[in-house]
Amino acid sequence: MPYAASDTLPLLMSDLIAESKPSDWRPLDPKNTLYLEFGSRRVIIELAPDFAPQHVANVRALARERYWDGLAMVRVDDNYIVQWADPHAENSELARTIRTARETLPAEFDCAIDPDLPFHRLPDNDVYAEVVGFTNGFPIARDEKDGRTWLVNTYGTVGSGRETDIHSGGGKELYSVIGHAPRQLDRNVTAFGRVRLGIEFLSALPRGNCQAGFYQDVDSMLTISSVRLASEVPLAQRTQLEILRTDTALFADIIESRRNRHDAWFYKPAGHIDIGNVPVPVRLVE
Amino acid sequence: MPYAASDTLPLLMSDLIAESKPSDWRPLDPKNTLYLEFGSRRVIIELAPDFAPQHVANVRALARERYWDGLAMVRVDDNYIVQWADPHAENSELARTIRTARETLPAEFDCAIDPDLPFHRLPDNDVYAEVVGFTNGFPIARDEKDGRTWLVNTYGTVGSGRETDIHSGGGKELYSVIGHAPRQLDRNVTAFGRVRLGIEFLSALPRGNCQAGFYQDVDSMLTISSVRLASEVPLAQRTQLEILRTDTALFADIIESRRNRHDAWFYKPAGHIDIGNVPVPVRLVE
C-alpha cells in the first residue's frame, strides 16, 4: 500500500493542492506533448508511448510532416467524440498524401503489463474491468489474469480512428472523447493519449449536422491551424504545464477527497468514485 | 425476470427499434413536459413527479407564471453542468419576484420505493449504488435495505440548484448535466427530470469564463426566451415526442445490444454497461 491515503482529517482537493510539494508534480515531456491548434486556441495532448508505442511514433512523424495543418474537425458527435482528419480522405485526387509516416499500423488495443511502471489502483470497483487505476497520470484498466493493460476511454482520452478492419488505423484520423466515458471503445480502438488542457475548446464545438455527428460539407468544418510536437515549437511559444504525479501519497489523498466530498455543500458523501470522475490536476508554471 | 432479453440472435439497436411495435412507445405527457427555449432552439425536458413531487409542482407553477422568461444561462461548466437562473438573484432591487410559486422547498433527494412503479434492473454492477435500473424511462438507483430510491445524475439529468442549506432549493435555479455522470451529486441535490431532446443545445454552449463555469457579466450570458409546460402551449406548436418504454422486453433487448455491441466495427464486445451509457430512445411523431 505505498500510496494509501493519509489517515488525518479529510481535506478538500483545493487544500491538498495548495499544500503540495514541487516533487508532487512533473512537467510534460515536450517529446510526448502535442499542441492541436485552431483559431487562437491550443489543446494540449499528452502522448502515452508506454501503451501504444507505434501509434505514438507515427503521430510524432505525422506532426513533423505537418500532416494535419489545414485539415479539419470532420465530426463532433454529442456526448461522444470529436474527430479531426482529412475531409477529403475518400477522394484520391484531393486527399493529402503522407511523406514519411505510416498510412496504417497494427492495432495496439492493449499491451503487456509492465511491472516497472508505477500503478495506483483505484479502491472502487469498475463496471467494465476487473482492475482500474492510474499509471503516470493515465487512467488505465488491467486484466491481471491475462497480464494485459490498456488506456480506458474517459472524458479527454485521445486515440486513433479506424475502419472496420482493426488494423486500418494508425493515427491519421484522431479522436477525443467529449462525453460520458464510452467504455465500450476500450480494447476496440488504439488510445494513445489524453487532453491535459483545453478540452473545453473541443467539447463546446458545434455538433455536426449529419448522422453520428459528421459534417455534411467541408465548408462548415472548423479548420485545424496546426498540430505540433511541443519539442518542435520554439521554447518561448511552449505552454509550461505540470501534471500532478499519480504515484504519490498526495494523489491517494486527492482520490479520497473526491470519493467522500467534504466541501460544505455536500450532504451525503458518495463513498465511491468512478474512474471517469477522478481528476488529474494540471498547473501552468512560469 | 419479466423483462429478460430475448435469447434469439443479438441485433443492433437500430434493428430492434425498426422492428418495434407501437405499444413499445409512450407519448410524453404534456403536463410533465417542459420546453426550455432560447433563440430558435427548444430543449425538451420530461418531469418525474414520482420522484420529486413537490419540486415538479413548483416547477410547473414557475413555468405558468413565466418566471424564467428573459432570465439566463448563468453557468456553463465544462464536463459538468449548465445552470439557468436569475442572474440578479443576489440583488434585491433587480431580482425577479415570484407571484404564486414557492421560493424554496424541503429537499427531495430520495423517496420511498413505490412497488407499483415498474422497475427494470440493470444486469451490471454500479460503482455508486447497490442497484440501478430504469423506471418509466428514468435512470434510478435503489437502496433496497432502506427502501429508498432516487434519480441518478447522468448526462441529461435535470434538477434544482441549491445553496449549502439542503432545503434552499425549490426549482428557481435549474441545472442539467452535460458531462460524465457526476454521481457524487446523487442524494445531494433534488433531481426531478431529464432532457429528452436537444441536450446538444446545452452541451455545446460556450463555457463560462469564471470559476466553476459562471459567467462574469450578465451581458455575456445567453438569454432564455421562455420555459413552458407543453400543456400550456397550443397543440400546433408542441413537439410530438414518444419515448421507448423501459418496462418492455424490447428495452431489455436494447440494453443487451449495447452491453455486447455487434455492430461490424466492434472487435471485443464489452460485456457490461454503465447506467450512464444506456440509451432511452425517443422519436418524433406526426
Pick the closest to residue B251 from B128, B120, B117 (CA basis).
Answer: B120
CB-CB contact of A97 with A188 (8 Å): no
Q: Which strand (E) or helix (H) includes residue B101?
A: none
State how far the alpha carbon of A10 is from the alpha carbons of A1, A22, A234, B140, in Å: 19, 21, 43, 29
CA–CA gap between residue B286 and residue B240 (Å, rounded): 7
Q: Minimal Cα–Cα distance from A247 to chain B, Å?
A: 23
Q: Which residues of A touch B263 (CB under 8 A)?
A: none
Q: Minimal Cα–Cα distance from B207 to chain A, Å?
A: 7
Terminal Cα-to-Cα distance of chain A (whole angstroms): 34
The C-alpha angle A8, A257, A178, rounded to 5 degrees, equals: 160
Residue type, B281: P
Pick the closest to residue B270 from A76, A126, A274, A79 (CA basis).
Answer: A126
When pLDDT is averaged across residues A272-277 and rounded to a whole number, the result is 98
- How many residues in chain A? 286
pLDDT reported for residue A10: 63
Pick the closest to residue B62 from B109, B93, B96, B106 (CA basis).
Answer: B96
State how far the alpha carbon of A15 is from the alpha carbons of A19, A252, A254, in Å: 6, 14, 10
- Any idea of the CA torsion for B140, B144, B148, B153, to the nearest 10 degrees? -30
Q: Minimal Cα–Cα distance from A64 to chain B, Å?
A: 30
The percentage of chain A sitting over the pLDDT mark of 90, rounded to a whole number, equals: 93
Residues contacting B142, CB < 8 A, separation 6+:
B113, B119, B129, B130, B131, B132, B133, B148, B149
Q: Is the pLDDT of residue A279 over 50?
A: yes
Q: Place A105 in a pLDDT band, splitting at 50, 70 and 90.
A: very high
pLDDT reported for residue B235: 97
Q: Which residues of B touch A107 (CB under 8 A)?
A: 267
CA–CA gap between residue B181 and residue B154 (Å, rounded): 4
Q: Does domain A26-244 have CATH number 2.40.100.10?
A: yes
Neighbours of B277 (CB within 10 A): 24
State how far the alpha carbon of B248 is from the alpha carbons of A14, B5, B6, B233, in Å: 46, 9, 11, 31
Cell of B197: 431532446
Whether the predicted interface score ipTM is above 0.90: yes
Q: Which residues of B touch A258 (CB under 8 A)?
A: 184
pLDDT reported for residue B64: 98
Residues contacting B83, CB < 8 A, separation 6+:
B73, B74, B75, B161, B173, B174, B175
Contact of B157 with chain A, judged by CB distance below 8 Å, is answered with no
Contact of A165 with chain B, judged by CB distance below 8 Å, is answered with no
CB contact under 8 A, B270 and A126: no
pLDDT reported for residue B70: 97
Mean pLDDT of chain A: 95
pLDDT reported for residue A3: 56
Residues contacting B221, CB < 8 A, separation 6+:
B72, B73, B74, B87, B215
For β-strands B131-135 and B25-27, DSSP reports them as unpaired
Q: Map grid coordinates 427494470 to a residue.
A: B120
Q: Is the pTM of this model over 0.90?
A: yes
Cell of B53: 413531487
CA–CA gap between residue B133 and residue A117 (Å, rounded): 38
Q: What is the pLDDT of residues B113-168, one digit of tens each?
A: 999 999 999 999 999 999 999 999 999 999 999 999 999 999 999 999 999 999 99
DSSP H helices, B215-267, are 249-259
CA–CA gap between residue A154 and residue A185 (Å, rounded): 10
CA–CA gap between residue A80 and residue B22 (Å, rounded): 29
CA–CA gap between residue A151 and residue A191 (Å, rounded): 6
Q: Domain locations in chain A?
A: 26-244
The percentage of chain A sitting over the pLDDT mark of 70, rounded to a whole number, equals: 97
The percentage of chain B sitting over the pLDDT mark of 70, rounded to a whole number, equals: 97
When pLDDT is averaged across residues A113-140 and rounded to a whole number, the result is 97
The DSSP secondary-structure symbol of A28 reads P
When pLDDT is averaged across residues A49-59 and rounded to a whole number, the result is 98
In the β-sheet with A72-77, what is the strand arrangement from edge to edge?
A: A72-77, A81-85, A174-177, A157-160, A190-197, A41-47, A33-38, A226-229
> Which residue ranges of chain B lie beneath pLDDT 50?
1-2
CA–CA gap between residue A167 and residue A185 (Å, rounded): 15
pLDDT reported for residue B98: 95
CA–CA gap between residue B48 and residue B33 (Å, rounded): 9
CB contact under 8 A, B180 and A179: yes
When pLDDT is averaged across residues A205-212 and rounded to a whole number, the result is 95
pLDDT reported for residue B1: 39
Q: What is the pLDDT of residues B48-58, one digit of tens each?
A: 999 999 999 99
pLDDT reported for residue A103: 96
pLDDT reported for residue A262: 87
Q: Name the CATH superfamily, with its identifier, for domain B13-284.
A: Cyclophilin-like (2.40.100.10)
CB-CB contact of A265 with B184 (8 Å): no
CA–CA gap between residue A160 and residue A176 (Å, rounded): 9
CA–CA gap between residue A27 and residue A282 (Å, rounded): 9
CB contact under 8 A, B270 and A186: yes
CB contact under 8 A, B154 and A180: yes
Q: Minimal Cα–Cα distance from B267 to chain A, Å?
A: 6
- The residue of chain A with its CA nearest to that of B187 is A268
In the β-sheet with B81-85, what is the strand arrangement from edge to edge?
A: B72-77, B81-85, B174-177, B157-160, B190-197, B41-47, B33-38, B226-229
Q: Which residues of A touch B180 (CB under 8 A)?
A: 154-155, 179-181, 274, 276-277
Contact of A209 with chain B, judged by CB distance below 8 Å, is answered with no
Cell of A107: 492495432
Q: Map grid coordinates 481528476 to a residue.
A: A279
CB contact under 8 A, A265 and B188: yes
